[in-house]
Amino acid sequence: MTLDLSRGWDLLLALLPETILTVWAMALLLDAAWHHRRPEAQRRAGGLALIGIALAAAAALWLWLSSAHATGAPASVAVDPFRWAVDLIVLLAAALSVVFSIGYLDREGILIPEFHVLVLFAAVGMMLMAGGSDLFVVFLGLELMSVSVYVLSGIDRRSKVGGEAALKYFLLGAFASAFFLYGIALLYGATGSTKIPVIASQIAPLGVAGHPMLLAGMALLFIGFGFKVAAVPFHMWTPDVYDGAPTTVTAYMAAAVKAAAFAALVRVLLQGFVSVHVRWEQVIWWLAAVTMLVGNLIALAQRTVKRMLAYSSIAHAGYLLTALVAGSVAGAAAFLFYLLFYTLMTVGAFAILSFKGRNGERDVLVEDLAGLAEPHPWLAFALTVCMLSLLGFPGTAGFIGKWYILVSATGGGYPILAAVLVVTSVVSAGYYLPVVMAMYMKPPAHDQAHAGVQVPRAAAITLAVMVVALLVFGLWPNLVLEAAKNGSHAFLPRGVISVGAPVAAGN
């Protein structure tokens, strides 16, 4: 299907998933306001939100299967498989967040139906970030996502730590947005455009590949992205915000927010700055290496499960950055594959934590999971699969994802960075495996240690499907690998390259 984005109808088709979700979220906001005081309003809003997410996902899948692509001059939105793939991952994370939040909000007494509306608006912002072919569209998506997540972080107004988390996220997010916007201004000054394909086409003719204004703009853009993906040293907000926010919100932030920010970064690097790969490869190299080291080493020192998972998410940001260093289509494919299963294993781990804890789960220690396998064997098995997949244990989808990232890094000529990934993955066993050992090899603190653990039926079914996916695609990954390669082909026209070969010659 060919779309001419200069025509209104074709542009609407290109933005169909975002349009559906936006209209649905606005209608749901009215419905939530109308039924706000009813006890079942939160559950009703959650069910309706899932319908909206399903409709948006169907639209994205239809556009992907229809091979939708744009013709004519570069527009402000991209129409390519990479966008549809990231849209589906973001919508999956949103759906999982809603499913696990319905029972969680009831239990915690957060009877606010607008919670699910904010999840939808945040998803719209993430989809705009992933599909933005103009830096201003990316910025608008970034702001819509950020404002929604600010509110979600502090939505439990009775929680002081939740309010602190929201304030910290707001302040640091404002700094990140300022850096990002100033970077856009400098890039416009250097190239005369904010459209990513036009920037790429103007660098060589204008001879600005080494111009200070272009380099400064790139640097400021990277700082803005660094905050959003929680890369070291821009990670300072992550532990406190993840720790203070409601656990299902933390899961949404750790998966979907990271997915959207990384997707935008991939497009900027592989579509906008591929011709100046030599200028940014060392920056991404060091960001990836330091993020992997710091995230894993500090995670070793954590006693609470929630903060351990927060630092774990920082380490995984380093793994995803490793996929981008070579500036290759193989790296983009590895990124998409790993991102999908990172979403499943991260949301799954936080969801199981939410079943175990109370009042934000901030006080759940690894020792509190001791003996969980006896009264709740399936829940312990699910958490074990999530932990092993995060570790990269053979037989899980996490292992295949890390292997694919290693192949892209070594194929691009970065064996030292690949070695850092392997070593830090080994280090991560020091905090993932104790969780498994506690559940299976240690007795519970007392007979009623796990008496309060309750798993709603819908959440249990969803969790079971996630665990099966992590195991099945860990053994038979070809279907998802092919889809990931198809998504990465969005960047093929920018250079004569094949999957597995770096974009920039001599790297």
Q: Where are the domains of the chain?
A: 2-494
CA 315 – CA 317 distance, rounded (Å): 5
pLDDT score of 502: 38
- The answer to whether residues 100 and 354 touch, using CB atoms and an 8 Å cutoff, is yes
SS3 65: helix
Q: Are 95 and 497 within 8 A, CB to CB? A: no
Give 10-residue mean pLDDT values along the chain (507 residues): 78 90 94 79 90 95 87 80 92 94 86 90 94 91 91 85 86 87 92 88 83 90 88 82 88 90 90 84 91 92 88 92 86 90 92 80 80 87 93 91 91 90 92 91 75 83 93 90 84 45 37
pLDDT at 492: 66
Distance of alpha carbon 461 from the chain centroid: 23
Closest of 223, 332, 209, 214 to residue 284, by C-alpha:
223
Are the CB atoms for 312 and 295 separated by under 8 Å?
Answer: yes
| DSSP three-state, residue 42 | helix
List the beta bridge partners of residue 304.
Answer: 365
Whether the CB-CB separation of 423 and 367 falls below 8 Å is answered with no
pTM of the model: 0.91
What is the Cα Rg of the chain in Å? Answer: 22
* pLDDT at position 24: 95
Q: Classify 393 as helix, strand or coil.
A: coil
Which of 181, 192, 333, 191 minimizes the C-alpha distance to 275? Answer: 191
* Spatial distance between the Cα atoms of 488 and 507, rounded to a whole number of angstroms: 19
C-alpha closest to that of 153 among 61, 254, 80: 254
Nearest alpha carbon to residue 21 among 47, 41, 50: 50
The helix (H) or strand (E) run that includes residue 177 is helix 160-191
Q: How far apart are the first and last CA of the chain?
A: 36
CA atoms of 18 and 22, how far apart (whole Å)? 6
Q: Which residues, other chains included, contact 37 with Cβ-Cβ below 8 Å and sequence gap of 6+? A: none
pLDDT of residue 495: 39
Instruction: Look up residue 435 and give its two tokens.
Output: 């969780």
- Do residues 361 and 453 make contact, with C-beta atoms less than 8 angstroms apart? no
